[in-house]
Amino acid sequence: MKIRKFRIENTKEIAQLIKKTFRKFSKNDGPKKAVEAYIHEYNDIEKLKVKFQRSPLFYIAEEKGKIIGIIRGDKNRVGNLFVLEEYHGQGVGKELMEKFEKISLSRGSKLIRIRSSLYAVPFYQKMGYKKSGGIIKTKNLFGLKYQPMLKKLK
């Protein structure tokens, strides 16, 4: 596996990965209608290209030319971390997080915040993140629930 920077031509494959993974693992984070509305946001590839290009930090985990995981955000916040189901438990998410944290630290970040899906909370806790409040039901993300978390960088 190698980790590299996002390239615009990866947008469609990344959108498919996000939709598939979110549908599988975040289906209990809100009403079915809310989950499907979130997934629908990843159908407009041209709009996603613009959105993805605005991400200051965006890395891809790739194996044999196939994208198996992604992480994106800015130096103080992870916006997305998704790993294909068949690669869970193999260190892909951990390597992406470590890369993200290292770059964030080099850019002057003292901490990273995450709006964790309820499914991913144990993963982030293993990575040293702490809950920073109770579960929140969003207004702007279709009523999906998330767990705010943070980690102080050293």
Domain locations along the chain: 2-152
The predicted structure's pLDDT at residue 27: 86
CATH 3.40.190.10 fits 2-152, yes or no: no
Tokens of 65: 């030319």
24-62 pLDDT, tens per residue? 999 888 888 888 888 998 999 999 999 999 999 999 999
pLDDT for 138 equals 82
Q: From 92, 91, 90, select the one nearest 71 (Cα to Cα).
A: 92
- Rounded-to-integer distance, Cα 134 and Cα 115, Å: 11
Name the least confident of 35-39, 95-99, 116-120, 126-130.
35-39
Nearest Cα neighbor of 76 from 130, 112, 124 is 112
pLDDT of residue 108: 95
| Residue 73 confidence (pLDDT) above 90 | yes
C-alpha separations of 9 from 52, 87, 109 in Å? 11, 22, 29
Phi-psi region of 91 (alpha: psi -120 to 50; beta: other; left: phi over 0): left
Can you give the pLDDT at residue 131?
A: 98
DSSP lists the bridge partners of residue 80 as 72
What's the chain's average pLDDT? 94
| Residue 89 amino acid letter | G
pLDDT band at 121 (very low <50, low <70, confident <90, very high): very high
